């Protein structure tokens, strides 16, 4: 670690988010800022901080020419890229408010956001994106400019005919004055981030420059980040976790960010980029965990035993490093186990990973134990869009993977009524855009933000125990938080998605979505046609799934048992309206879509008493 060095731009010195870039360019102009894959040459290309500053100056000059007033809104609908940063920084430097959009969100949802925020300028990836969005948007008088990043060989007629449309290559000036600092107000509105609510229309979370800067800086006081660090960015920049921790924080630290090509190419990018830091959501780890389980199932009993022993020894090694257990003789074999088993997993992640932060949803303990036992340093954190977003995070020297860590410096937490976690933080939003009633429901008169999550605090660590609105109450009065059960069920490699049902019912049932690869093998085993939906009602299949679910829920209370199951092949997605853009299941929409099947299931009574 001797060659690793720190150069932190504090929130006070930066002042604003655009001030952060100015300070970074001034301090380390020739250092590597970004790495991206150039499709034309099929090579990774590097960009220095000086080049970033020059590019942002050009984007800023073009935005100024649009004649927008400070405080007006502009929106970005791009994949993670340098251009996302250029547009964001240029808009902020002009005193504008940036509205990030998810690239895989539904056109009608994007149209609602653009209208609600009265967006004046919209940047999209390509002409195809605009063609899909334009019909949903209809008449939107506030939108004066549509910028298309990628120019097609042939421009579609309807795009060419739209006077608002400009291709970025035509819109940008060839050169501009160098980047200059401005005396912006840190408390001014910087962004409106629309939450992907599981019910109803999304709400616009208003975040200031200081909100996001303070959280990034606070995180850096707890977790070391160096100029030599290399982040691999693949969570959408429209996700506040990636934006604060994967964009502003590396800029604050002078680290480098490489933009992954796509999720399907992530495994290859990990090998080529070899990151030292990775920010992910639990689903990424769960998918890898599922693949590992599937591979182990096909190996010999000896190989499976060796893998289990490796994770067991690796976990004990981790617990000893955390000063929670003592030395054991089995630790002597760790170097051999690392070479034979654990190292093969860490090499697939690039072989240099020193930090992997998991946030956005709960990471199940079995998954965390497996990866940590294999030597992958996972730190679970917790936060909300409304808090910019990080509230707490585990730190390397005090890592309790079943918790969501300790509060960031400057963040206050306490437990309120119904065990609800309450927060006061410098990252707290100004409120919801054009929605004072919703703001008053979340922030009480004493200034505490009500997270809606149930939790407890032990030894300084926060433990999330459930979501208040999601608690199921059976007809016998038993209360069940379904989230933990759903996470456990999805650890079975055959099941990709799950939803527990039971509100006001005498027992629990579940809807499960099968993993496509696992389903093909299981269908062949039982002599079923995997492409015929009638096969999903086969008694042998349902019995197999009941046993698999029972095994995953064996550590839950006796009343938390699933008695019946509805089996699906088609996944819940953003496109079919059953997932939010942050990949959370829209519980009410799933229950509504499958209401008849659910009622029929309960009408036929339970099976088994497991």
Q: What is the CATH classification number for the domain harbouring 506? A: 3.30.300.30
Please return the burial class of 516, using the count of CB atoms within 10 Å of its CB with bins 0-12, 13-18 and 19+. Answer: exposed
Instruction: Tell me if 537 is assigned to some domain.
Output: yes
- Mapping DSSP to helix (H, G, I), strand (E, B) and coil, where does residue 422 land? strand
Residue 479: pLDDT over 80: no
Alpha carbons 519 and 517: distance in angstroms, whole number: 5
Instruction: Tell me if 446 is assigned to some domain.
Output: no
CA R_g for the chain:
25
Q: Which domain holds residue 506?
A: 471-603
Lowest mean pLDDT among 96-110, 368-382, 400-414, 467-481: 467-481
Q: What is the pLDDT of residue 610?
A: 43
Of the candidates 45, 44, 48, the one whose C-alpha atom is nearest the C-alpha of residue 31 is 48
Of the candidates 424, 410, 462, the one whose C-alpha atom is nearest the C-alpha of residue 215 is 410
Half-sphere exposure of 363 (CA within 13 A, CB side): 33
- Find how far residue 17's CA is from the centre of its chain: 21
Instruction: Tell me if 178 is assigned to some domain.
Output: no
Domains: count for the chain: 1
What angle in degrees, to the nearest 10, is found between the helix axes of 539-552 and 482-489? 120
Angle at 348 between CA 344 and CA 349, to 5 degrees: 120
What angle in degrees, to the nearest 10, is found between the helix axes of 365-373 and 282-297? 70
Please compute the mean of the pLDDT values over residues 123-147 and round it to a whole number: 92
- pLDDT category, 11, cuts 50, 70, 90? very high
Phi, psi of 11, deg, nearest 5:
-60, -35
Q: Which residue has the tokens 């309206």?
A: 577
Q: Mean pLDDT score of the chain, rounded to an integer?
A: 93
What are the angstrom distances between the C-alpha of 192 and each of 53, 213, 427, 574?
Answer: 24, 15, 14, 21
Residue 515: pLDDT over 80: yes
Structure tokens belonging to residue 188: 């001014």
Asked if 24 contacts 227 with a C-beta cutoff of 8 angstroms, the reply is no
Of the candidates 148, 147, 167, 173, the one whose C-alpha atom is nearest the C-alpha of residue 61 is 173
Please return the burial class of 504, using the count of CB atoms within 10 Å of its CB with bins 0-12, 13-18 and 19+. Answer: exposed
**Among the residues of 374-496, which ranges form H helices?**
436-442, 482-489
Alpha carbons 539 and 519: distance in angstroms, whole number: 15
- Mapping DSSP to helix (H, G, I), strand (E, B) and coil, where does residue 190 land? strand
Q: What is the pLDDT of residue 466?
A: 82
Instruction: Tell me if 202 is assigned to some domain.
Output: no
Q: What is the pLDDT of residue 609?
A: 47
pTM over the 0.85 mark: yes
What are the angstrom distances between the C-alpha of 13 and each of 179, 186, 388, 408, 574?
Answer: 17, 11, 19, 20, 40
Please compute the mean of the pLDDT values over residues 114-143 and round it to a whole number: 93
What number of other Cβ atoms are within 10 A of residue 4's Cβ?
13
Instruction: Tell me if 376 is assigned to some domain.
Output: no
Instruction: Tell me if 413 is assigned to some domain.
Output: no
Beta bridge pairs of residue 166: 147
Alpha carbons 209 and 184: distance in angstroms, whole number: 9
DSSP-assigned states of every residue in 44-67: EEEEEHHHHHHHHHHHHHHHHTTT
Residue 55: pLDDT over 80: yes
Instruction: Tell me if 558 is assigned to some domain.
Output: yes
Specify the DSSP element, H or E, that contains 313.
helix 301-321
Segment 533-567, tens digit of pLDDT: 999 999 999 999 999 999 999 888 777 889 999 99
Instruction: Tell me if 241 is assigned to some domain.
Output: no
């Amino acid at each position: 670690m001797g060659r690793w060095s720190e150069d932190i731009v504090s929130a006070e010195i930066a002042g604003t988010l655009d001030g952060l870039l100015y300070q970074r360019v001034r301090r380390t102009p020739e250092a590597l800022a970004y790495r991206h894959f150039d499709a034309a040459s099929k090579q990774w290309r590097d960009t220095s901080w000086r080049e970033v500053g020059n590019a942002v100056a050009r984007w800023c000059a073009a935005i100024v020419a649009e004649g927008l007033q400070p405080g007006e809104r502009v929106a970005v609908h791009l994949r993670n890229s340098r251009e996302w940063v250029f547009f964001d920084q240029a808009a902020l430097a002009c005193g504008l408010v940036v509205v990030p959009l998810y690239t895989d969100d539904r056109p009608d949802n994007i149209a609602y956001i653009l209208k609600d925020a009265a967006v004046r300028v919209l940047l999209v990836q390509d002409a195809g994106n605009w063609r899909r969005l334009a019909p949903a948007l209809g008449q939107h008088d506030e939108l004066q400019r549509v910028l298309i990043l990628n120019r097609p060989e042939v421009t579609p007629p309807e795009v060419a005919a739209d006077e608002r449309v400009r291709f970025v290559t035509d819109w940008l000036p060839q050169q501009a004055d160098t980047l200059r600092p401005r005396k912006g107000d840190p408390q001014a509105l910087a962004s409106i981030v629309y939450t992907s609510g599981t019910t109803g229309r999304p709400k616009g979370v208003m975040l200031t420059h200081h909100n996001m800067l303070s959280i990034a800086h606070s995180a850096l006081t707890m977790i070391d980040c160096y100029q030599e660090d290399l982040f691999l960015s693949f969570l959408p920049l429209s996700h506040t976790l990636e934006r604060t921790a994967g964009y502003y924080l590396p800029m604050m630290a002078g680290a480098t960010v490489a933009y992954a090509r796509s999720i399907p190419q992530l495994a290859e990018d990990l090998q080529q980029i070899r990151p030292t830091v990775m920010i992910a959501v639990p689903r990424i780890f769960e998918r890898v965990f599922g693949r590992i389980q599937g591979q182990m199932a096909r190996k010999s009993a000896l190989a499976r035993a060796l893998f289990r022993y490796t994770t067991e020894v690796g976990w004990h090694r981790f617990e000893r490093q955390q000063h929670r257990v003592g030395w054991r003789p089995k630790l002597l074999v760790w170097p051999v186990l690392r070479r034979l088993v654990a190292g093969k997993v860490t090499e697939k992640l690039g072989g240099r990973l020193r930090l992997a932060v998991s946030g956005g949803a709960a990471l199940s303990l079995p998954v965390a134990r497996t990866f940590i036992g294999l030597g992958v340093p996972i730190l679970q954190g917790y936060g909300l869009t409304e808090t910019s977003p990080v509230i707490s995070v585990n730190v390397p020297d005090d890592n309790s993977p079943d918790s969501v860590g300790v509060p960031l410096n400057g963040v206050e937490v306490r437990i309120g009524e119904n065990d609800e976690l309450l927060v006061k933080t410098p990252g707290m939003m100004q409120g919801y855009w054009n929605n004072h009633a919703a703001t008053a429901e979340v922030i009480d008169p004493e200034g505490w933000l009500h997270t809606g999550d149930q939790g407890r605090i032990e030894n300084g660590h926060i433990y999330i125990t459930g979501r208040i609105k999601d608690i199921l109450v059976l007809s016998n009065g038993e209360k069940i938080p379904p989230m933990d059960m759903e996470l456990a069920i999805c650890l079975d490699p055959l099941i990709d998605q799950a939803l527990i049902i039971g509100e006001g019912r005498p027992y629990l049932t579940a809807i499960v979505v099968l993993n496509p690869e696992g389903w093909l093998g299981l269908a062949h085993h039982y002599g079923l046609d995997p492409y015929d939906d009638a096969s999903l009602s086969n008694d042998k299949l349902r019995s197999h799934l009941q046993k698999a679910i029972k095994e995953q829920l064996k550590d839950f209370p006796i009343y938390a048992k699933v008695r019946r199951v509805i089996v699906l092949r088609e996944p819940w997605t953003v496109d079919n309206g059953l997932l939010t853009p942050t990949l959370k299941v829209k519980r009410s929409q799933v229950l509504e879509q499958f209401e008849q099947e659910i009622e029929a299931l309960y009408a036929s009574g339970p099976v088994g008493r497991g």
